[in-house]
A and B are shown apart, each in its own frame.
Chain A
Amino acid sequence: DAEITQSPRHKITETGRQVTLACHQTWNHNNMFWYRQDLGHGLRLIHYSYGVQDTNKGEVSDGYSVSRSNTEDLPLTLESAASSQTSVYFCASSPGNEQFFGPGTRLTVL
C-alpha cells in the first residue's frame, strides 16, 4: 500500500547542531509539506513543494530549509538547531486538496 513515512520518529539533539528529518511518500504526489505542532498553535506550515526542484517558504520558515530532488522525498534541515525548535514535526503529501500526514517526528533540542 502507498504510504508516507517519517524518520527518525524521535530525535534528541544539542543546540547548534545540524539536523535533517526525512519524509518519504510512495503515492507519487507532487505536493509535499512540512509542519510543526506546538501546544496552543495547532499546525504551522514551515515549507512546501509543488514538485521536483520547487520549494516555498511557509509561515514559520526561519531556521529551516528543504530540498526536492525527486518526487518521493522532502527532507527538512535545521541548519543550527535551537531550543525553540523543540516540537513535533509532521510531513504531508497531497494530490490536490486533501493532505495525508506522516506519523510525525518528535524533536527535542537541548
Chain B
Amino acid sequence: RKEVEQDPGPFNVPEGATVAFNCTYSNSASQSFFWYRQDCRKEPKLLMSVYSSGNEDGRFTAQLNRASQYISLLIRDSKLSDSATYHCVVNTLDDMRFGAGTRLTVKP
C-alpha cells in the first residue's frame, strides 16, 4: 500500500464547476501537509499548505482530518488555467512523500 493515496483521476470538468480531490495517508506520525500543482512538463509548485483548522485561498479550500488521515482540496468556479496535476504531499519528520497526482482538465 502506498503511503499517500490520491484519487486516480483524470477529472474532466467544465469551466465554473466545483471539483474535489481526496487524499489519504498511512503514517499517523505525519506532521505537515501540502497540495502542490504541476503543469505539464513543468516542476511542481506549492499551491497551499493544509492545516487542521482548514484553510482557504480564494477559490481553493484545503481540509485535513488527522483522525481519518484524510486531506482534501476543493476548487470552486474552475478556470481553464486550473488544468494541471495536483499532488497531495505529506511530510513525516525527514521524509516527504508525494501522492501520484490527480490530473484535472477544465474545458470551455
Query: Which of B43, B46, B94, B101 is in CB contact (< 8 Å) with A98?
Result: B46
Residues of B within 8 A of A98 (CB): 34, 46, 49
User: Across the two chains, which residue of chain B brings its CB closest to A97?
Assistant: B32
> Given A42-B87, A58-B95 in contact, is the A101-B44 Cβ separation under 8 Å?
yes
Number of interface residues of B (CB under 8 A): 19
A103: which of B43, B87, B94 is its contact (CB, 8 Å)?
A: B43
Nearest chain B CB to A46's CB is how many angstroms away? 11
Report the separation of the CA atoms of residues A80 and B95 in the bound assembly, to the nearest whole angstrom.
26
A42 lies within 8 A of B46 (CB): no
Interface size class of A (residues with CB under 8 A): 20 to 34
Q: Is the CB of A43 within 8 A of B95?
A: no
B90–chain A nearest beta-carbon distance, Å: 11
Interface pair A104/B43, CB less than 8 Å apart: yes
Pairwise interchain contact A90-B44, C-beta atoms closer than 8 A: yes
Q: How far is the CA of A59 from the CA of B96 in the complex (A)?
A: 9
Is A43 touching B94 in the complex (CB atoms < 8 A)?
no
Residues in chain A near residue B98, CB distance under 8 A:
35, 42-44
Give every chain B residue within 8 A of A41 (Cβ-Cβ). 100
Interface string of A99-110 (1 = CB under 8 A from B): 101111000000
Please state if B43 and A48 are interface contacts (CB–CB under 8 Å). no
11 A-B residue pairs with Cβ-Cβ distance under 8 Å, sorted by A, are A40-B100, A42-B99, A42-B100, A44-B98, A58-B95, A59-B97, A97-B32, A98-B49, A101-B43, A103-B42, A104-B43
Q: Is the CB of B32 within 8 A of A42?
A: no
